[in-house]
Chain A
Amino acid sequence: MNRLLILTTALCGLGFAAQAQNKEVNVVSWGGAYEKSQVEAYNIPFAKETGIKVNMIAADNPAAPLKAQIEAGNITGDVFDIEVSDAIRLCDEGALVEIDPASLPPAPDGTPAADDFIPGALRDCAVANIFWGTVIAYDKTKFPDGPPTTAADFFDTAKFPGQRGLPKSPKRTLYLALIADGVAPDQVYEVLDTPEGVDRAFAKLGTIKDSVVWWEAGAQPVQLLADGEVTMATGYNGRFFDAMVAEGKPFEIIWDGQFMDMDMFAIPKGSPNPEAAMAYLKFATDTQRLADQAKWIAYGPSRKSSAALVGLYQDGKTEMAPHMPTSDEHMKTAVMDDPEWWADHDAEMAERFNAWLAAN
C-alpha cells in the first residue's frame, strides 16, 4: 500500500514537472482563412521566439465555449478571439483578466500603445487585433447597364433586379436599412435608440423582404453570389476579397455603408497558462505582427502604425492597403459597431428580428 502511494505520488510529481517544462498556450479562434492568417502571422514566429507551443482551437464563435468553460468552472483555453460586445459583457461580469495598456508594446516610433491603437480597439479586458467590414458585393456580369454604387441601390430591386443575400442577424442588417433610407453613418445608433427608428429600419428591410436569401455562415454569401442565386449580397470583406483575388470571381465590393467590427483577444481569469497567454497577447498585437496578418487576409490591423507596413497579399502581387476596411477612404462611410448598444439590446432585437422573419 505504502509503495503504491509513493509510486503514484512520484508519478504525479513527474507529470507536473513535465507540464511545467512543456510550456504551451491554447488559443481559441474562428477557424478557416482567418485562423490560418493568425497561425502564419502570430503563432509560428511566437513559437520560434519563445519556445512556447501554440495550440489553435477552432470554434464557431469562441465566446460560446468561453462562457461554457466559465460556467463549468473548468477553463481550458488561454486566449480567446471574441467580438467586442462579448468582450465588454464578459469583462463586466468579472470573467476576464484586465489588461493594462501600458504593458502593451509601443509603436516602432515610440508612440505608447494607448495612442497607437485605433479608438475603441483597447478595452479594459481585451485588445483588438483586426477590424473587419460587412460590405455589399455584387456580380459584375449581372449589371451590364451600369453597376450599383450605394447602399440605397441594394434596396432598389426595380433598377437592379435579382435576389439579395443578407445575414440572418439584426446587427448586420438594421444599420444597412437605415443607411439606405438616408441616415448618416454616424447617426445610425442615435436613430436606432428610439422605437420609431427601429420601426423605420424594419420597414425599410420589409421593402425587399420577399427577394432576400438569408445566410448564416460567412462562406454562404460568396457561394450564393457565385451560384447566381443572388445578384448582390452583404458579407465579410475578407471572404469577398478571397473570392475576387484568389479565385478570380467577377465580384465587386461597394464600400458605401460598410459595418465595422473588431475581433479582440481576451484572457479568461483562471486560464491554465496565464503568463504564456499574456506573452502571446502582447506578441500578437505588436505593430509588425498585425501588419503581417494582412498578408494572409484582407482585414485591417488595429494599430495605426501597422498601416504603413501592410504590404502585398500572399500571391506576391496584390497591394493590400486599398482592400483594407480601415483605409481612410473606406472609413469615411463606415458605420462603427456600438457594442454597448448591442450588449443592451441584442436579445430584444434578435427576438423582434426573428418574429419579423417568421411573420409572412
Chain B
Amino acid sequence: MSNALDPHAAIVTEAGGLDQGGTLRTADGRPLKAALARSSRRARRRAFFLVLPLLLFVLLTFVLPIGQMLQRSVKNDGFSANMPQLSAWFAEHPRGTEPDEAAWAALAADLTAAAEARTVGVIGTRVNYDMPGTRSLFTSAGRKARRGIEPPYRAAMLEMDEKWGDPKLWSVMREASSAYTTNFYLAAVDRTRDDAGNIVQAPEQQRIYLTLFQRTFWLSLVITFTTFLLGFPIAHLLATLPMRKSNLLMILVLLPFWTSLLVRTTAWMVLLQQQGVVNDVLVWLGVIGNNQRLQMIFNQTGTIIAMTHILLPFMILPLYSVMRTINPSYVRAARSLGATSWTAFRRIYFPQTLPGLGAGALLVFILAVGYYITPALVGGSSGQLISNLIAMHMTQTLNWSMAAALASLLLAGVLILYWVYDRLVGIDNLKLG
C-alpha cells in the first residue's frame, strides 16, 4: 500500500495512476470512489437543506391535510368510542342475531354513561348520518337515562320510545359500532344499506351525488373545450404579431387575469341578468321583446359563460408560450412542398402546439372541477358543481366525513384523469413555458 506522505505515491496518484490494488486514489491516498461519494454526499446534503423548508411546507400544508381528509372519510368513531359495551356486543355476535337482553343492557348502560359524559349528541349525530330522524331519539333517551334505567332493559327502552325496536336502527348501530366505515363513500355514490345490511340504491329523491359528479366533469369538459376554441386563435395571434402589438394584446389577456375572481363573477351578473346590460341592449335593438328577456344567468349557461371567461388565461398563456417557440419556416416549408394551408396547419403547426394545449387543457380542467365561488353565485339551481355540496357539508350540515368522502372521490377522479393523460399524451410533453 502506498503512503499518503510518500511524495512518489502522491505524484503517481496525481497523474491518475493506479496503486498496487488497482484502485484510483486521491492525493491524500483515499480511494477516489469513496472521496467522490463523500463530496457528492455533502453536496446532496447541502442541497437537501435548501429544499427542506419547501419539503416541510408541502408536508404540513398538503400531504398532512390530504391524509387527514382521507382518514376522516372512512373514520368516524362517534358511536364506537362512546358506546363501548354495545360495540363489544356487536363484535361478539354476528349479523342477524336478534338483540338479546345483554344487548339491551349494554345499550342502557352505554346511554347512561354517555348521558353523564354529555356525549349522547355525538352518538346521535353519527347514527343520524345513516338514518335521518334518529338524533333526537338518542338525545331524549340520554335525558331520561340520567334519571336511571331499570331492568328489564328491553321493556324499559321500548317504553321510552318504540323506535328502539326498529331493526333498521339496530342494523345502522351495528354499522356505526366500528370506527371505520365505508358508508360515507356509499352515500357519496348514492348508495345506502338496507335493514339486512345489503348495499342498495338510495331513495330516488335523495340521489344527487352521481348526477353532480357527472355534471361537474361534463361542464368542466365543456369549459375546457370552449376555452380552447376561444383561446387558440388569440394565442396564435399573440405569438405571430410583432412584439409591440402583441404586448398590447397581452395586457388585455392579463388584466382580467389579475382582477379579483369575485369582481369578475359579479360583473358577469351585472351583464347577464334579465335586467342586465346584454338583455337591455338586445331589447333596445329590437332583437327580443321586453317580456322575452333571456335567462342567461343563475343556470348552467351562466356557469359556463363566467367560468370560461375566468379560466381563459390559463389556456392562452401555455399555448402562447409554446407557439412562440414554433419556427415559422416549418409551415413555410410545408407550403412550398405543396401542402394546402389547412394541411400545413393540421400536420405541421397544430402537432407542435400540443404540449401547450395539453398543459392548458389539464390546468383548465382541474381548476374547473374544483370550482366553487362562481357556480355558487351564478349557477342557480342547475349550474351547481360538486364543490358546492362539499361546502354545504362543511359549513351547514357539519358532516365532515361526508365532505371528506366526496372530496376524496373528486381527488381520485382527477388523479385518474391525470394518469390517462400521462398514458395518452405523456406528462413529459407538458409545457407551461
Contacts and interface: CB of A to CB of B under 8 A. Distances in A.
A64 B128 contact: no
A282 interface: no
Contact of B384 (A67, A212, A354): A354
B132 A358 contact: no
B211 interface: yes
A71 B77 CA distance: 13
B248 to A, nearest CB: 35
B148 to A, nearest CB: 19
Contacts of A93: 118-119, 121-122, 125
A64 B206 contact: no
Contacts, number: 104
Given A93-B125, A227-B275, A67 B118 contact: no
Nearest to B291: A161
Contact of B208 (A214, A216, A354, A360): A354
A357 interface: yes
Interface string B384-411: 1000010010111111101000000000
A89 B274 contact: no
Nearest to A86: B398
B118 A352 contact: no
A357 B384 contact: yes
A209 B298 CA distance: 13
Nearest to A61: B395
Contacts of B275: 227-229
Contacts of A355: 205-208, 211
Contacts of A356: 205
Contacts of A345: 132-133
Interface string A88-104: 01111110000000000
A60 interface: yes
Interface in B34-65: none
B118 A92 contact: yes
Nearest to B132: A348
Given A92-B120, A216-B376, A350 B384 contact: no
Contacts of A340: 136
Contacts of A86: 398
A347 to B, nearest CB: 4
A350 B392 contact: yes
Nearest to A352: B205
Contact of B398 (A64, A216, A229): A64
Given A229-B273, A344-B132, A354 B117 contact: no
B75 to A, nearest CB: 12
A343 B412 CA distance: 32
Given A92-B139, A351-B206, A360 B382 contact: yes
Contact of B117 (A71, A94, A213, A216): A94
A344 B121 contact: no
Nearest to A65: B395
Given A92-B118, A344-B135, A63 B381 contact: no
Which DSSP category, helix, strand, loop or mixed, fits chain A's interface?
Answer: helix
Given A214-B380, A229-B274, A345-B133, A94 B396 contact: no
A93 B117 CA distance: 9
Contacts of A209: 381
B367 to A, nearest CB: 21
Interface residues of A, number: 40
Interface in B185-237: 205-208, 211-212, 215
B358 interface: no
Contacts of B128: 344, 347
Contacts of B355: none
B382 A358 contact: yes
Contacts of B402: 347
Nearest to B205: A352
A24 interface: no
Nearest to A169: B396
A358 B136 contact: no
B121 to A, nearest CB: 2
A358 B206 contact: no
A89 B129 CA distance: 14
B206 A92 contact: no
Contacts of A91: 118, 121
Interface string B350-393: 00000000000000000000000000110011101000010010
B142 interface: yes
B398 A358 contact: no
Contacts of B207: 355
B430 to A, nearest CB: 34
B392 A90 contact: no
Contacts of A61: 395-396
Name which of A86, A344, A357 has the most chain B CB atoms within 10 A of its CB.
Answer: A344
Interface in A248-277: none
Contact of A343 (B118, B119, B136, B395): B136
Contact of A346 (B117, B205, B395, B397): B397
A43 interface: no
B121 A90 contact: yes
Name which of B129, B132, B134, B377 has the most chain A CB atoms within 10 A of its CB.
Answer: B132
A356 B382 CA distance: 10
A60 B119 contact: no
B73 to A, nearest CB: 14
Given A93-B125, A355-B206, A63 B398 contact: yes
29 contacts: A61-B395, A64-B394, A64-B395, A89-B125, A89-B135, A92-B122, A92-B139, A94-B118, A94-B121, A168-B381, A212-B381, A214-B380, A216-B376, A229-B275, A340-B136, A343-B135, A344-B133, A345-B132, A346-B397, A347-B129, A347-B399, A347-B402, A351-B208, A354-B208, A355-B206, A356-B205, A358-B212, A358-B381, A358-B384
Interface of B: 117-122, 124-125, 128-129, 132-136, 139, 142, 205-208, 211-212, 215, 273-275, 298, 376-377, 380-382, 384, 389, 392, 394-400, 402
Interface of A: 60-61, 63-64, 67, 71, 86, 89-94, 163, 168-169, 209, 212-214, 216, 227-229, 340, 343-348, 350-352, 354-358, 360
Given A347-B402, A352-B206, 19 more contacts: A60-B395, A67-B398, A67-B400, A91-B118, A93-B122, A94-B122, A212-B381, A214-B298, A216-B376, A229-B273, A229-B274, A347-B129, A348-B132, A350-B397, A357-B381, A357-B384, A358-B208, A358-B211, A358-B384
Closest 3 CB pairs between A and B?
A92-B121, A94-B118, A348-B132
